[in-house]
């Protein structure tokens, strides 16, 4: 009888270890962390018009990265997310009710310590155990009242990017990230 239990136990242990899995590198590099700060209650249904913050659109990346392309893509992705929530961009002769600023940094150009110093937030994504072909990137989006220099709300996300990947693939993942980051902003539809 004891032999029977031992055989069943060993068979169960074998089946259990055969079914276990290790996290793959791909799963490690798609993880992101996010942190937010501020009060979105000041945004109400009359807050429908946004525009870009006049000075907050920084890109801290290596010379390999075309910063103008990144800024244009950030603006496009943020606009898409804001339009989906019912906001519209201010025209040339219109005063916005909300200003949107943003920044992007690769770890090789700006450390978490520097991000904390400049943005007041840090998401704390660990790079331990991640292949060197991936680089940690940080994305900050902040909302401002046109009458106040301090942000009313901000979100910082950190994730991994593969600079060798096709731009279309990176852009799609980036748009998904920004949509997730801006999800807490209330719809005004």
What's the CATH code of the domain at 134?
A: 3.30.160
Q: Is residue 124 part of a domain?
A: yes
Q: What is the pLDDT of residue 40?
A: 92
d(CA 47, CA 186): 10
Q: How many domains does the chain fold into?
A: 1
Which conformational region is residue 64 in: left (phi greater than 0), alpha (psi within -120 to 50 degrees), or beta? alpha
- 12-53 pLDDT, tens digit per residue, is 433 433 444 444 444 445 678 888 999 998 887 778 999 999
Indicate the length of the chain as a whole number: 189
Answer whether residue 187 is part of any domain.
Answer: no
Provide the sign of the torsion angle of the four alpha carbons 179, 46, 75, 103, taken in this order: negative
Span 167-178, pLDDT tens digits? 677 778 888 889
Q: Pick the most confident of 9-13, 126-130, 185-189.
A: 185-189
Percent of the chain with pLDDT over 70: 79
Query: Is the model's pTM score more than 0.85?
Result: no
How confident is the model at residue 8, as a pLDDT?
A: 39
Residue 129 has φ and ψ, to the nearest 5°, of 80, 5
DSSP classification of residue 160: E
Token reading at 179: 């949509």
Q: In this structure, how many other beta carbons lie within 10 angstroms of the beta carbon of residue 159?
A: 20
Cβ(100)–Cβ(53) below 8 Å? yes
Structural domain boundaries, residue 53: 23-181
pLDDT recorded at residue 24: 45
Write down the pLDDT at residue 5: 38
* Token representation of residue 149: 């220099």
Structural domain contains residue 2: no
Q: Is residue 15 part of a domain?
A: no
Query: CA 27 to CA 94: how far, in whole Å?
Result: 45
């Amino acid at each position: 009888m004891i032999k029977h239990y031992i055989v069943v136990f060993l068979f169960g242990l074998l089946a259990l270890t055969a079914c276990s899995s290790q996290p793959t590198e791909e799963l490690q590099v798609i993880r992101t962390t996010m942190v937010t700060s501020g009060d979105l209650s000041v945004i109400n249904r009359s807050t429908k018009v946004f525009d870009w913050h006049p000075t907050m659109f920084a890109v801290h990346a290596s010379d390999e990265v075309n910063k103008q392309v990144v800024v244009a893509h950030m603006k496009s992705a943020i606009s898409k997310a804001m339009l989906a929530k019912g906001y519209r961009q201010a025209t040339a002769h219109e005063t916005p009710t909300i200003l949107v600023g943003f920044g992007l940094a690769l770890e090789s150009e700006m450390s978490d310590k520097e991000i904390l110093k400049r943005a007041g937030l840090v998401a704390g994504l660990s790079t331990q155990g991640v292949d060197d072909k991936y680089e940690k990137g940080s994305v900050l989006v902040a909302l401002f009242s046109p009458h106040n220099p301090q942000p009313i709300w901000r979100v910082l996300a950190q994730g991994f990017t593969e600079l060798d990947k096709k731009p279309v693939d990176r852009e799609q993942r980036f748009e998904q990230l920004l949509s997730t980051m801006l999800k807490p902003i209330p719809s005004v539809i």
